[in-house]
A = this chain, B = another copy of it.
Amino acid sequence: MNVLTAIKERTSYRGPYQPTKVPREDLIQIMEAGLAAPSGCNKQTTSLIAVDDPDVLRKLNGVIGMPTVETAPAMICVLAQQIIAYRGRTFYIQDYSAAIQNMLLATVGLGYQTCWYEGQITDTDAIGRKMADILGVPADYEMVCFLPIGVAAQPVNFVQKKPFGERAWFNGFKV
């Protein structure tokens, strides 16, 4: 799929998935896309765990508790480390966000659907930490996001966005 098409076709799919398995080579391609994203000072602060073992998926879904996510045959969990790039600054949020965006596009490009679930697991109930414990992730890695991966079982919807002219201009603000 063309890159501009993938960018336009990508949407946040929150419906159920078909039971069709996602081959390992596709999960690898999606993770490679994530790891290919830039990172501040090339610190590579993002790591990934793909989950396709039904037992592990069941355990993760036990703490996530979202019925549509339970139908996904695979999931990619995103881990982040707050590594300093320079002068006491870390760009780890930017790093993992760029990695996630690449993975969303690769997922769509390979014919699957996904959704960026972050706030749902990084809230005060710390679902992300519970997921990390299930996967044996040490405390210096934060579980910041998960992406269900699979073939959509329902039509894909697009959210309404503001018109171009309300968010983009030339040579000056609101010009």
The verdict on A168 contacting B31 (CB below 8 Å), with A91-B118, A93-B93, A138-B173 known, is: yes
Extra A-B contacts (4), CB below 8 Å, given A3-B109, A86-B119, A91-B119? A1-B2, A48-B167, A97-B97, A97-B101
A93 (CB) vs chain B CBs: closest residue: B93
- A68 an interface residue at 8 Å Cβ cutoff? no
Question: Could you list some 13 contacts between A and B, CB below 8 A?
Answer: A1-B3, A3-B108, A4-B109, A7-B105, A10-B38, A34-B168, A35-B167, A37-B101, A42-B161, A47-B169, A51-B171, A53-B170, A56-B172
- A67 an interface residue at 8 Å Cβ cutoff? no
| Cβ-defined contact, B173 with A135, below 8 A | yes
| Cβ-defined contact, A97 with B93, below 8 A | yes
| Count class of interface residues, chain A | 35 or more
The verdict on A168 contacting B48 (CB below 8 Å), with A97-B101, A119-B91, A173-B137 known, is: yes
Expressed in whole angstroms, the minimum distance between the Cβ of A122 and any Cβ of chain B is: 9
- Find residues 123-175 in chain A having any chain B CB closer than 8 Å to their own CB: 123, 135-138, 141, 159-162, 164, 167-175
User: CB-CB < 8 A to A85: which residues of B?
Assistant: 119
Interface of A is mostly: mixed
How many copies of this chain are found per oligomer?
A: 2
Indicate with 1 or 0, residue by residue over A4-47, a CB within 8 angstroms of chain B CB atoms: 11111011100000000000100111011111111010101011
| Cβ-defined contact, A53 with B171, below 8 A | yes
| Cβ-defined contact, B47 with A167, below 8 A | yes
